[in-house]
Amino acid sequence: MVGTKLALLLMLTAGGAMGKTSNVQRLDRASLVRRDNNDRTPGGTPFGPGGAGGQGGNNDRAPGGTPFGGSGAGGAPVQASLAAAAPGGQKHWATDASGMKGDELVKNLPEGFFVGSAIDNPDLKDPLAAALLKNMPYVTPGNSLKMQFVYENENSWTELLTASEKANGKGTLKWKYHTLIWGAETSQKMMQQSFSKEAMMKTITDFVTNKLCTKIVKETDFWGIDVLNEVFRDDGQGFKNNGYFEVIGEEGYMEVLKLVKKQCPNQKLIVNEYGMENANPKSDFAFKTIKKWLAQGVPVDVVGLQFHIGPDNKYEDMYNAIHRWTSQDIPVVLSEIDVPINLPPSPQDLEKQAQTYGNLMQAALEGGAFGATFWGMMDSHTWFGTQQDPGVGKGKVGAPLLFDAQGKPKPAFAAIVDVFKKWGKKQAGIANGRATDLGHASKGGAGAKSGPGSDESYGAGAGSNAGAGSNAGAGADAPGAGAGASGPGSHESYGAGAGAAAGGAGAGAPGAGAGSGAGGAGSGDIDMGPPDLGAAPRTPGAGGAGGAPGANGSGAPGAGAPGAGGPGAGAGSPGAPGTPG
């Protein structure tokens, strides 16, 4: 039993905006990067005292946050199992950004990989920053969805969503929820009523069940949730005392992951952590723990490696940090990338930063990661601050992002474009760990109303002029034309029943049980993942044994809306995609 006052005290000492001591604890983490730079920060400017073994606060874009995590705790040697030469190796990348446009990242994006950015309300009040949002369409709210801001009301989140849709159009972005369990910025009201494990688990359950999964993630297109954020000790000796762990323990963390997967089954559950950019005691403990959880059936879908790093990090370290996870079939995203340099930056600083960014993206692709989120869009909107408005960089270190303070692409931007171009048409990521599993930002059905869908309802949107389909559903008397078994995964596109004015028989959507037609005016793009938009969920039919999913297909367009799926077992061959209505 932990008393209310103790619980609050633990929260205040965990770091973040609520604790005055957190600034020193957080800035101490700069020492993590010293291995590669002779005990100095990337820009050559020393930060405060301290070492890498502490339980410092939480690494995020909140006031008083820490600079970059780094290359490891005290320069721990890379384990022999990770020390094999990385494929590709460190290279020199083209860095001339003159004449480049912001959309060249997404235009050259490798298949299966995404790029995104942290955003917050102040960012979108700057027209320059708002205009860049479309170039990084996978977005993470830096602060607006933290428990401190949404436990009692969602005003900050509502403001951010409204501003992003105004700047970029509705339904054009994909979102990640950041974050559920994190020690620094948690509602004081929540902690006051969470004085025992039972009470805290009830509070978390109520929030997840009644707000997170039933309201917030249904308000726009979310793909994942940072369920556990920065929960591991820097010295590798277990979990941080963060206000949660003292009350619910490791068992409680596992229960929370299971709870969120049950309530948000279509979301990727993420454990997000800093300071794991190479092999060190912290990354070793995290690796061992998550492997154990997975073996016990605890859902961890993705590991987020933050990569707040300096410009001296080595390619081999970065590659090995990623590949140790993906080699065990654990998907990885790079979740909070920035690379701070001297202020004001010299041409040499910008070149060094660019090469680090290029090598990091090469390591991400070679290592099997499937996405990269930069912790901000432009150098005038970063938690490091500027010379005129200092943040954690104290006016000496900053400029960590891909666009400068005027919103122009930097050499680092050009280096990443060069990496993407040289990667070519090769697939990124690993099985069950690709951006194509998530759907595509800026795409989706055009239905007038979209239901939340389920893993089985990946049909096309119904279109704004779709008919009612009063005689929908072929039922048992109309066997589908699909090929073999309905697949178990999240990528199947189950056939729709015939609408009131359905077109001709479909050639067979993946999975069995398709109805006799796939009509529906104005059907939108079918994403290879959770539906962005669509009609009501369809029930998959029973498939023939052993068949593989067919190619996406639909019948000739008709005037009616898709009806309910028939349960018939398919025996036909997969058809070619039909022409959308």
| Mean per-residue pLDDT, 30-55 | 32
Q: pLDDT grade, residue 451 (50/70/90)? A: very low
- Please report the pLDDT score of residue 457 as a whole number: 32
- Of 79, 73, 81, the closest CA to residue 233 belongs to 73
| Mean per-residue pLDDT, 113-119 | 98
- Asked whether the predicted pLDDT for residue 92 surpasses 80, the reply is yes
Q: pLDDT grade, residue 485 (50/70/90)? A: very low
- Please report the pLDDT score of residue 10 as a whole number: 31
- Asked whether the predicted pLDDT for residue 378 surpasses 90, the reply is yes
**Residue 435 · residue 373 · CB < 8 Å:** no
| Mean per-residue pLDDT, 507-524 | 34
- Asked whether the predicted pLDDT for residue 174 surpasses 90, the reply is yes
221 vs 171: which has the higher pLDDT: 221
- Asked whether the predicted pLDDT for residue 520 surpasses 90, the reply is no
- Of 236, 325, 290, 313, the closest CA to residue 68 belongs to 313
Q: Which two tokens stand for residue 200?
A: 């805290």
- Of 529, 336, 553, the closest CA to residue 438 belongs to 529
Which residues make Cβ contacts (< 8 Å) with residue 249, sequence separation at least 6?
A: 197
Q: pLDDT grade, residue 186 (50/70/90)? A: low
Over residues 220-270, the pLDDT tens digits come to: 999 999 999 999 999 999 999 999 999 999 999 999 999 999 999 999 999
547-579: b (≥16 Cβ within 10 Å) or e: bebbebbbbbbbbbbbbbbbbbbbbbebbeebe
Over residues 21-33, the pLDDT tens digits come to: 222 222 223 333 3
302 burial (CB, 10 Å; 0-12 / 13-18 / 19+) is: buried
Q: pLDDT grade, residue 441 (50/70/90)? A: low
- The alpha carbon dihedral of 28, 29, 35, 38 has a sign of negative
At residue 215, φ and ψ (nearest 5 deg) are -130, -65
List the domain boundaries for the chain: 4-78+102-438, 443-464+485-581
Mean pLDDT of the chain: 71
211 burial (CB, 10 Å; 0-12 / 13-18 / 19+) is: middle
Pairing of the two strands 332-337 and 138-141 = unpaired
The pTM for the full model equals 0.66
- Of 534, 533, 539, the closest CA to residue 565 belongs to 539
Q: pLDDT grade, residue 576 (50/70/90)? A: very low
Q: pLDDT grade, residue 88 (50/70/90)? A: low
- Please report the pLDDT score of residue 120 as a whole number: 95
- Please report the pLDDT score of residue 195 as a whole number: 79
- Please report the pLDDT score of residue 538 as a whole number: 33
At residue 314, φ and ψ (nearest 5 deg) are -95, 145
Look up the CATH superfamily of 4-78+102-438.
Glycosidases (3.20.20.80)
- Asked whether the predicted pLDDT for residue 505 surpasses 90, the reply is no
Q: What totals of helices (H) and strands (E) does the chain contain, helices first? A: 14, 10
- Of 85, 76, 82, 3, the closest CA to residue 36 belongs to 76
- Asked whether the predicted pLDDT for residue 165 surpasses 80, the reply is yes
- Asked whether the predicted pLDDT for residue 547 surpasses 70, the reply is no
Q: Of 78-87, 213-222, 381-390, 425-434, which gets the smallest average pLDDT?
A: 78-87
**Residue 569 · residue 513 · CB < 8 Å:** yes
Q: Of 80-94, 101-115, 131-145, 191-205, which gets the smallest average pLDDT?
A: 80-94
Q: What is the DSSP string of 129-187?
A: HHHHGGGSBEEEESSTTSHHHHSS--HHHHHHHHHHHHHH-TT--EEEEEEEE-SSS--
The DSSP 8-state label assigned to residue 122 in this structure reads H
Q: Tokens 């066997």 label which residue?
A: 479
Q: Which two tokens stand for residue 217?
A: 């993630």
**Cα gap 170→456, rounded to integer Å:** 25
- Please report the pLDDT score of residue 153 as a whole number: 84
Q: Which two tokens stand for residue 504?
A: 């001709």
- Please report the pLDDT score of residue 306 as a whole number: 99
User: Which of left, alpha, beta for 329 (phi over 0: left; psi -120 to 50: alpha)?
Assistant: left
- Asked whether the predicted pLDDT for residue 340 surpasses 90, the reply is yes
- Please report the pLDDT score of residue 86 as a whole number: 55
**Residue 313 · residue 356 · CB < 8 Å:** yes
- The alpha carbon dihedral of 332, 168, 427, 222 has a sign of positive
pLDDT more than 90, % of the chain: 55
- Please report the pLDDT score of residue 185 as a whole number: 63
pLDDT more than 70, % of the chain: 59
User: Which of left, alpha, beta for 420 (phi over 0: left; psi -120 to 50: alpha)?
Assistant: alpha
571 vs 178: which has the higher pLDDT: 178
Which residues make Cβ contacts (< 8 Å) with residue 53, sequence separation at least 6?
A: 73, 74, 234, 235
Pairing of the two strands 332-337 and 302-305 = parallel
| Mean per-residue pLDDT, 386-412 | 97
- Please report the pLDDT score of residue 169 as a whole number: 86
Which residues make Cβ contacts (< 8 Å) with residue 244, sequence separation at least 6?
A: 181, 183, 186, 200, 231, 252, 253
- Asked whether the predicted pLDDT for residue 324 surpasses 60, the reply is yes
- Asked whether the predicted pLDDT for residue 507 surpasses 50, the reply is no
- Asked whether the predicted pLDDT for residue 283 surpasses 70, the reply is yes
- Of 311, 208, 197, 329, the closest CA to residue 257 belongs to 208
**Residue 572 · residue 483 · CB < 8 Å:** yes
Over residues 187-226, the pLDDT tens digits come to: 677 777 677 999 999 999 999 999 999 999 999 999 999 9
